[in-house]
A and B are shown apart, each in its own frame.
Chain A
Amino acid sequence: MKIFRNPDVMWREEDEYKKQALDALEKDDEAADIGTSILYYDGRMLTLNILGTEVWKRCDGRTLDEMVSELIEVFDVSPQVLLKDAAAFLDEMKEKGLISCED
């Protein structure tokens, strides 16, 4: 199933926070609480952590499996854990109307 960002959602990465998150990952520190991108839609705002950001950037028609096979090179976790976390994130994004899926 191909996954697409809602084109109405404006977004950008936050370079300074991304660097902080990458530094934390490098040191095996916790990075999940660091917002590295920001989504802006209908006057609302949402920050995504480094995993959410990397998944979000790949919502351009790629499938979940394709995303996970790319991201496993970036994050030091098992494929099963990454698949579960990415799927949970995408479920939340879909519920908020921020992504759509196509067969």
Chain B
Amino acid sequence: MKTDWLPAAPLTINWAVTNKCNFKCGHCYSRADPFDELDPDVLHTCIERVARSGILSVNFGGGEPLLRKDLMDLAAHASQEGLRVSMNSNGYLIDTDNARELKKNGFSKIGISIDSHKPEVHDSFRGVRGSHERAVKAIYYLNEAGIETSISSVICKINHNDIDPLTDFAVHMRVKQLNVHNFKCSGLGYSNKDELDLTSDEWRQFYIRALEAKQKTKDIDISLDDPIIALLGAGKGDSMVKGSVCGKLSLNIKTNGDITPCGFIPIVIGNIVRDDLKDLWKNSPVLEKMRNKIPTGKCVQCSKFDDCLGGCTARAIALTGDMNNPDPHCWRNED
């Protein structure tokens, strides 16, 4: 795609429907967010507006989406409006019955958070004993119900050396994708970054191993959403957007309707209740700045800037306050 080519609307919306959660994750980005939620009627109207904007899919998150009592109604409504509906869940509340209900109400894909093939490591990271076992069962129930599943893993100090066993585990669980998420220093992730985040060299080592695993694994797709992998020659080709996808393909909606470029960037560009989404998408100065990042510091002379566009914008903002600054995870030295 040409860099100046911009679709008329986002392709997908990540939509936090509740910030309530039954877990105690030390990296949670939404724990500090306000807990006010839109009323069901308002939310239904917003879903209709999103669908009319041409958006193709919504991914419900939070918080734990299943703690929102009307989740099934929301999903059914979104599905009836023509949106492809998916969700990220910790899986703790999924059983045989509601797995079928999720299918019936339009969920086509559900990602379950599992950060380690070792139950004790996952349980400790998520703060709830038995959560690994429940997540494993959730995937089983969802597969049985005919919903496409994926495993989402947040890479940090607890698991960065375990990509191979994690991949084997994902294959064993018969999920379609292993979504490997880089650690973001947002919310509690910022407070706990010293214990959890990797050094830039550890990130380099991790991505070398992860790309090898992706190359050799044919049974599942390993998805690496970090623009920094462009430094290793990955992520090229006409099917991928360069740099962060936030603000180029997707937007985030918070529980109170506030719209941000992504869940990890706390810059509100509007509100879905009062603002026209396509107008925001086209005219927001924040999105315009994200789409046209100006290299600073070591990015100025870096031969890879055209591929990674400075890396993850959320990390640059969280740790330096300026989206144009180099991604703090970048391992390349000053030229």
Contacts and interface: CB of A to CB of B under 8 A. Distances in A.
Interface in B131-183: 177
Contacts of B223: 42-43
B84 to A, nearest CB: 6
Interface in A14-71: 14-17, 33, 35, 38, 40, 42-47
Interface residues of B, number: 20
Given A10-B56, A40-B57, A47-B1, A16 B240 contact: no
B239 interface: yes
Contacts of B54: 12
Contacts of A12: 54, 56
Given A12-B54, A40-B12, A35 B239 contact: no
Contacts, number: 41
A12 B84 CA distance: 13
For A17, A35, A43, A44, which residue has the most chain B Cβ atoms within 10 angstroms?
A43
Interface residues of A, number: 17
B278 to A, nearest CB: 11
A35 B5 contact: yes
Interface of B: 1-2, 5, 7-8, 11-12, 54, 56-57, 84, 177, 221, 223, 225, 238-241, 249
11 contacts: A10-B56, A17-B5, A38-B11, A40-B56, A42-B177, A42-B223, A44-B239, A45-B240, A45-B241, A45-B249, A47-B1
Given A17-B5, A40-B12, A40-B249, 19 more contacts: A10-B56, A10-B84, A12-B54, A14-B7, A14-B8, A15-B8, A16-B8, A35-B2, A38-B7, A40-B56, A40-B57, A42-B177, A43-B225, A44-B239, A44-B240, A45-B1, A45-B240, A46-B239, A47-B5
